[in-house]
Amino acid sequence: MKYPLTIIAIITLLLTATACTKNTPTTNTPVVVNTIVNQGTAPTESGCPQEGHIKSPASTNAATITFDNQTGADLKVYWLDFNGARKFYTDVKAHSKKDQATWVGHVWVVADGAGQCVKLHSANAVAQTLVID
């Protein structure tokens, strides 16, 4: 049985939270080992309905997410802190990419100019690309 990415991300968050210590994302970019592009069956939803019910767990595993904005509009990127509150981190211009240092298990919200969630994603690898289209 294939599970939507959001369910797998939630399970990963729960497992990661039990064995980690607290860290917040930094602006220092860790070394990129490889890049994972979300592939396979597309999730049935953007993950946005989980906002307000999910938060970033403590983690000691540094990671990098590349936000790949393939839309025609600028987007805003927020980190969901340890209480589940949005913390603004960066803008991603239309048709551009932005690397963001983070920790495995940490949760990110990509929002439109009005702040409406477009995609919610948990960092689930040391280095990955999140395509927003």
pLDDT at residue 55 tops 90: yes
Q: Strand pairing of 62-69 and 127-132?
A: parallel
What's the CATH number where 93 sits? 2.60.40.780
Q: What integer pLDDT is reported at residue 47 of this predicted model? A: 86
Q: What integer pLDDT is reported at residue 10 of this predicted model? A: 52
- As for how many domains the chain has, the answer is 1
Q: How many Å apart are CA 79 and CA 82, to the nearest integer?
A: 10
Could you report the per-residue pLDDT of 72-127, keeping only the tens digit for each? 999 999 999 999 999 999 999 999 999 999 999 999 999 999 999 999 999 988 99
Angle at 123 between CA 122 and CA 125, to 5 degrees: 140
Structural domain for 58, as ranges: 5-23+30-132
Q: What integer pLDDT is reported at residue 38 of this predicted model? A: 35
The mean pLDDT value for 15-28 works out to 45
